[in-house]
Every structure is written in C-alpha cells, then in structure tokens.
C-alpha cells in the first residue's frame, strides 16, 4: 500500500553529535526528504559556483594544492550542463550553509563535464578526455562524485543525487577518515543505532514476483531481472511508486522483466543470482546498499548490469529501462550507450 509520508527519518545526529562536528547541529527533517520532481533535462545550462576549482584538470596537482591548504582531499564532480539532478545538488545541497562551509573547509572540488573533450590528468597519471575519464569511472548517473583522500586513494563514490542528510554524512565519512574502518552503509547504520525504519508495509506492484525468492541464474533465464531493495515507512520509496512507477510508460517495461521486491532490513530468505543462500539484509550489506529504494538489474545469466541507488524520477528511470529492455547491454556499457543516443 502507498504510505502518505515517512513517520521517521534516520537519526544520524546520534553519531554526529558523538563526534562533535558541525554536521551534528542539523537534524534530518522532512525538508530533507525526497519529493517527486521533473528530471527532464533543463533548458538552462548549469553555471558552476565560483568556489569550484576550474583549471587545467591536472588532478595530481589539484590534490597537492588541496593538501597544502590543510584539506583532507579532493572531490571530483562528474556532471552535465542540463542535468536536473546536477541542478538539484547545487540548488538544494550546496546552498545550505553547513554543507557549503564543511565542503570548502575539507575538500577542493574539481568539475568534469562527462561529454567534454578537454584533457584530464588522472590521479594514476593517465591522460584522457573528460568523456573517456567519465566512461572509465562508470559515472552512470550525474552528478557523480569521487572522494579522494590525501594519498590519492578513492575513499567513496556517489553516483546520482542524494538528499542533504545523506550528503552531509558522506562528507564527514571521508573527512573524518571513517572510510578506513567501515563501509558507508555501516557508518550510516551507526548514526541511527540500527538504520532501520519502523515496521511498515512496502508498496505493492502487480509485476512483483511473490516469495520464495529464488533468483538463482546459474541456469540462465530468458529475461533480465530487476531487484527492488526497499524499506518500510520510506518516503523516497513512496515517491518512486506514486510517481514514476505509476506511469504506464514505465510499467510497460516490466512485462519483459522478472521483478522482485525485498525489504533490505529483513531476514527473509533469498537465493541470489549467483546461487548463494542468504537473507535480504545480508545480501544488501554484501552489495553495499545504503539508500532506499535501490534497483539492481541483472542479465539472464545473473551478472549485475546496472544499479540505481540514488534519487530517481521518470526520465532517468525510463532511460535505464530502455537500455535494459532493448538488450543494449549485450553490446555496450550504459555510459557508451548514452553517448551513442546523444549523437
């Protein structure tokens, strides 16, 4: 059943208050919740704020300069000028004083245009175009942010847009070195103590297969598989089902998919596409999932093709489903396919 609104949000402040950081001062609120929005490409091109580091795209030099200023590392931002989610990051996250101040204090941020032809020197010394760098890093959804520590090592990768409370957590997760000891999922879980919402019904869809959840694809199926990881009392899940998944243009795709829905915090038995016997909770942890809803797509043989584990609305989901439904994955990656569609 559709739930009208989430009755609770992750109490990440518990962890942040213990750490004594400025992020602890901002409790998650309904203002941070995900709302349905028009994610079609914007007519107006995005303008980078003046604190973004524009230059020669020499990332080793950029990292050295960040370290010289006492910062904890470098954020490499992959975006598009007309991307609605990129606009959302700048217009809703980076306008919040605490997020802006904390980001500037701990990181330098270098923007990459995923369609750009400018040369980039990567942190491992390779020289390639912005577009090729984006493809190499599988930045399937913009904005994608790669957080590098002071040693030039990747500490965290975010693909897509996340609401302010999770974005704050990501900043602190890297800046305070939590990535050295635990996964981002575990960090978020400690922030609430359990990272479990109050029990609640999941949203239903007629195309969801009922349990038992035997997803074993060691003997290949004839159809791709979509696995929805959700949780009870989840406002973002309600928005997905009440908006994008209520559209006939989206629903029609699932006639050609096997689709299941799992409560990512439940102990319901699952046999994974690789044939492993586990539970929904343990599998979600193994996959490193921390955002609900997350949708993972597998091919007929059980290989993961793509995951949507950030805020998603109609336009982005339609593109993903088109890529899977047309079996374009047999010939090219999602990034390469998007490039071919752009031409």
**∠ CA(64), CA(112), CA(292), 5° rounding?**
105
Query: Do 170 and 282 lie in a common domain?
Result: no
Contact indicator for 292, 264 with CB cutoff of 8 Å = yes
Q: Give the least confident one: 2-11, 44-53, 210-219, 252-261.
A: 2-11
Partners of 298 in the β-ladder: 225, 304
Alpha-carbon span 325 to 319, nearest angstrom:
10
Query: Do 52 and 91 lie in a common domain?
Result: yes
Query: Do 255 and 118 lie in a common domain?
Result: no
At residue 37 the predicted structure's pLDDT band, cuts being 50, 70 and 90, is confident
Q: Give the least confident one: 6-20, 23-37, 39-53.
A: 6-20
What number of other Cβ atoms are within 10 A of residue 335's Cβ?
18
Contact indicator for 108, 62 with CB cutoff of 8 Å = yes
Quote the pLDDT of residue 225. Answer: 97
Task: Please identify, among 157, 192, 227, the residue that sits at the C-terminal boundary of a domain.
Answer: 192
Query: Do 233 and 147 lie in a common domain?
Result: no
At residue 3 the predicted structure's pLDDT band, cuts being 50, 70 and 90, is very low
Query: Do 99 and 145 lie in a common domain?
Result: yes
Query: Do 127 and 233 lie in a common domain?
Result: no
Residue 286 pLDDT more than 80? yes
Mean pLDDT of all residues belonging to the chain: 88
- Tens digits of residue pLDDT in 309-319: 999 999 999 99
Task: Please identify, among 162, 192, 222, the residue that sits at the C-terminal boundary of a domain.
Answer: 192
The answer to whether residue 48 sits within a structural domain is: yes
Cα-based torsion angle of the residue sequence 338, 82, 106, 76 in order, rounded to the nearest 10 degrees: 30
Domain with 283, as residue range(s), is 213-342
Query: Do 167 and 233 lie in a common domain?
Result: no
97 Cβ contact partners less than 8 Å away, ≥ 6 residues apart: none
Residue 31 pLDDT more than 90? no
Residue 121 pLDDT more than 90? yes
Contact indicator for 102, 174 with CB cutoff of 8 Å = no
Residue 18 pLDDT more than 60? no
The answer to whether residue 32 sits within a structural domain is: yes
Partners of 259 in the β-ladder: 208, 226
Q: How many domains does the chain fold into?
A: 2
Residue 15 pLDDT more than 60? no
Alpha-carbon span 269 to 247, nearest angstrom:
31
Strands 119-121 and 127-129, by their bridges, are antiparallel
State the distance between the two ends of the chain, measured CA to CA, in whole angstroms: 42
At residue 294 the predicted structure's pLDDT band, cuts being 50, 70 and 90, is very high
Q: Stretch 298-308: mean pLDDT, rounded? A: 96
**CATH number, domain containing residue 74:** 3.40.30.10
The answer to whether residue 115 sits within a structural domain is: yes
At residue 339 the predicted structure's pLDDT band, cuts being 50, 70 and 90, is confident
Alpha-carbon span 263 to 279, nearest angstrom:
10
The answer to whether residue 135 sits within a structural domain is: yes
Query: Do 159 and 110 lie in a common domain?
Result: yes
Quote the pLDDT of residue 217. Answer: 95
Query: Do 160 and 290 lie in a common domain?
Result: no
The answer to whether residue 5 sits within a structural domain is: no
The answer to whether residue 146 sits within a structural domain is: yes
Quote the pLDDT of residue 192. Answer: 59
Query: Do 172 and 283 lie in a common domain?
Result: no
Quote the pLDDT of residue 200. Answer: 63
Alpha-carbon span 180 to 176, nearest angstrom:
9
Quote the pLDDT of residue 43. Answer: 94
Quote the pLDDT of residue 93. Answer: 96
- Tens digits of residue pLDDT in 124-181: 999 999 999 999 999 989 999 999 999 999 999 999 999 998 999 999 999 999 999 9
The answer to whether residue 6 sits within a structural domain is: no
Contact indicator for 107, 72 with CB cutoff of 8 Å = yes
Q: Give the least confident one: 29-43, 82-96, 206-220, 235-249.
A: 29-43
Query: Do 26 and 71 lie in a common domain?
Result: yes
Query: Do 27 and 119 lie in a common domain?
Result: yes
Task: Please identify, among 126, 158, 192, the residue that sits at the C-terminal boundary of a domain.
Answer: 192
The answer to whether residue 208 sits within a structural domain is: no
């Amino acid at each position: 059943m559709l739930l009208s609104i989430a009755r609770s949000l992750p109490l990440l402040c518990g962890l942040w208050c213990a750490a004594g950081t400025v992020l602890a001062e901002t409790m998650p609120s309904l203002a941070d919740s995900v709302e349905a929005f028009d994610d079609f490409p914007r007519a107006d091109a995005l303008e980078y704020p003046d604190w973004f580091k524009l230059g020669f795209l020499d990332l080793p030099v950029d990292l050295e300069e960040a370290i010289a200023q006492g910062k904890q590392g470098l954020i490499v931002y992959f975006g598009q000028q007309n991307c609605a989610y990129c606009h959302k990051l700048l217009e809703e996250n980076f306008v919040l004083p605490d997020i802006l101040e904390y980001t500037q204090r701990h990181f330098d941020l270098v923007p990459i245009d995923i369609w750009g032809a400018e040369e980039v020197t990567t942190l491992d010394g390779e020289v390639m175009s912005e577009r090729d760098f984006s493809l190499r890093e599988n930045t399937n959804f913009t904005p994608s942010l790669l957080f590098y520590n002071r040693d030039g090592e990747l500490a965290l990768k975010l693909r897509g847009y996340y609401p302010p409370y999770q974005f704050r957590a990501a900043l602190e997760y890297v800046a305070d070195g939590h990535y050295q000891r635990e996964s981002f999922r575990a960090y978020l879980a400690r922030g609430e103590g359990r990272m479990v919402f109050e029990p609640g019904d999941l949203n239903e869809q007629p195309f969801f297969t009922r349990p038992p959840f035997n997803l074993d694809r060691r003997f290949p199926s004839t159809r791709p598989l979509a696995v929805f990881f959700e949780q009870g009392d989840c406002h973002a899940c309600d928005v997905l089902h009440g908006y994008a998944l209520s559209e006939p243009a989206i629903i029609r795709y699932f006639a050609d998919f096997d689709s299941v829905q799992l409560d990512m915090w439940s102990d319901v038995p699952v046999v994974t596409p690789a044939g492993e016997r586990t539970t929904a909770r343990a599998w979600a942890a193994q996959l490193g999932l921390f955002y609900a809803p997350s949708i993972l797509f597998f091919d007929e043989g059980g290989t993961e093709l793509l995951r949507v584990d950030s805020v998603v609305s109609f336009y982005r989901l339609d593109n993903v489903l088109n890529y899977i439904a047309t079996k374009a994955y047999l010939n090219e990656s999602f990034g390469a396919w998007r490039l071919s569609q752009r031409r």
